[in-house]
Amino acid sequence: MKGRRTAIALFGCALIMSGCSSNDTSSDGGATLTLNVLAASSLTDAFPEIGTAFSAAHPDVKVQFSFAGSQELVAQADSGAPADVLALAGTNSLDVLEASTGGPVIFARNRLTIIVPTGNPAGVDALTDLANPDVKVALAGPEVPAGAYALDAFDKAGISVNPVSEETDVKAVVTRVAIGGADAGVVYVTDALASDADIESVDIPARLNVVATYPAAGLTASENSEMAQQFVDYLTEPAAQQTLNDYGFESP
């Protein structure tokens, strides 16, 4: 089915390459703090709305997002890219940076779904259909949380799936399926809901599904560590949780 919301493609490549200071000067001469948040691509639709609400409550703070696969974000932070907060799609991704982050806060959960092109030309009706060698399947790579979760679901179903492509994040899986590059893909429920691409969803039953856990943590090296922690804490407050729920995320 077509999703309910238009994906807001906000990528922070320019921010990461610029190496600019996290404190800018606003047009009226006042100090404006820029909070750099590296967030999993599945948060692309929900987080800008949350960032706007956070800035409304903190008028001197501008929230700057960079969205990518969780494994890529960890690599960026580990290599010294400007970052105050990490919000990822799996707790394992934080292990590399355990000594460099504050205590992670679980702020959301997600589940998997199968997506197919509109009309479902390959007739995919169940998770086990993805094991059919005649069905071209696109997945996120195994190093990406969504890809690892998909492999867990296949293990539960007792099947082996040989994908025709392994993408860098779930948004790329949606695109691959929408343009006809694959007969099916496995993404988060939230990605299917948010997409306006020509796709439909095929449910994965609870007994075979996998719950994705989303942690957020402030980076200890951040010059804005206090505000970073406030943003992390805000993600669990009712307003932010309502926004996440509106986009299909489950509360922790």
Q: Are residues 99 and 220 in the same domain?
A: yes
Q: Are residues 143 and 176 in the same domain?
A: yes
Q: Which CATH number belongs to the domain containing residue 116 in this structure?
A: 3.40.190.10
Q: Are residues 95 and 153 in the same domain?
A: no
Q: Are residues 105 and 124 in the same domain?
A: no
Does residue 7 fall inside a structural domain?
A: no
Pairing assessment for the beta strands 85-87 and 31-40 based on DSSP bridges: parallel
Does residue 220 fall inside a structural domain?
A: yes
Residue 97 is predicted with a pLDDT of: 67
Does residue 153 fall inside a structural domain?
A: yes
Q: Are residues 41 and 68 in the same domain?
A: yes
Q: Are residues 99 and 141 in the same domain?
A: no
Are 107 and 87 in contact by the 8 Å Cβ rule? The answer is: yes
| Terminal alpha carbon distance of the chain | 26
Does residue 209 fall inside a structural domain?
A: no
Which burial class, exposed, middle or buried, applies to 137 when counting CB atoms under 10 A from its CB (0-12, 13-18, 19+)?
buried
Q: How far apart are CA 18 and CA 34, in angstroms?
A: 14
Q: How far apart are CA 237 and CA 248, in angstroms?
A: 17
Residue 13 is predicted with a pLDDT of: 36
Does residue 4 fall inside a structural domain?
A: no
CB atoms within 10 A of CB 245: 13
Are 166 and 88 in contact by the 8 Å Cβ rule? The answer is: no
Q: Smallest Cα–Cα separation from 227: which of 235, 214, 218, 238? A: 218
Does residue 185 fall inside a structural domain?
A: yes
Total domain count, the chain: 2
Q: Are residues 28 and 100 in the same domain?
A: yes
Residue 12 is predicted with a pLDDT of: 38
Q: Are residues 129 and 51 in the same domain?
A: no
Domain limits for position 84: 13-109+214-246
SS (H, E, C) the chain: CCCCCCCCCCCCHHHHHHCCCCEEECCCCCEEEEEEEEEEHHHCCCHHHHHHHHHHHCCCEEEEEEEECHHHHHHHHHCCCCCCEEECCCHHHHHHHHHHECCCEEEEEECEEEEEECCCCCCCCCHHHHHCCCCCEEEECCCCHHHHHHHHHHHHHCCCCCCCEEECCHHHHHHHHHCCCCCEEEEEHHHHHHCCCCEEEECCCCCCCCCEEEEEEEECCCCCHHHHHHHHHHCCCHHHHHHHHHCCCECC
User: Does pTM top 0.85 for this prediction?
Assistant: no
Q: Smallest Cα–Cα separation from 131: which of 99, 154, 107? A: 154
Q: Are residues 67 and 119 in the same domain?
A: no
Does residue 6 fall inside a structural domain?
A: no
Does residue 207 fall inside a structural domain?
A: no
Are 92 and 86 in contact by the 8 Å Cβ rule? The answer is: no
Are 186 and 113 in contact by the 8 Å Cβ rule? The answer is: yes
Residue 169 is predicted with a pLDDT of: 92
Q: Are residues 187 and 220 in the same domain?
A: no
Residue 19 is predicted with a pLDDT of: 38
Q: How far apart are CA 242 and CA 237, in angstroms?
A: 9
Q: Are residues 218 and 172 in the same domain?
A: no
Q: Are residues 126 and 79 in the same domain?
A: no
Please report, in tens digits, the pLDDT of each residue of the chain (252 residues total): 444 443 333 333 333 333 344 454 444 344 489 999 999 999 999 999 999 999 999 999 999 999 999 889 988 888 888 899 999 998 876 776 664 677 889 999 999 999 999 999 999 999 999 999 999 999 999 999 999 999 999 999 999 999 999 999 999 999 999 999 999 999 999 999 999 889 999 999 999 999 999 999 998 888 999 999 999 999 999 999 999 999 999 999
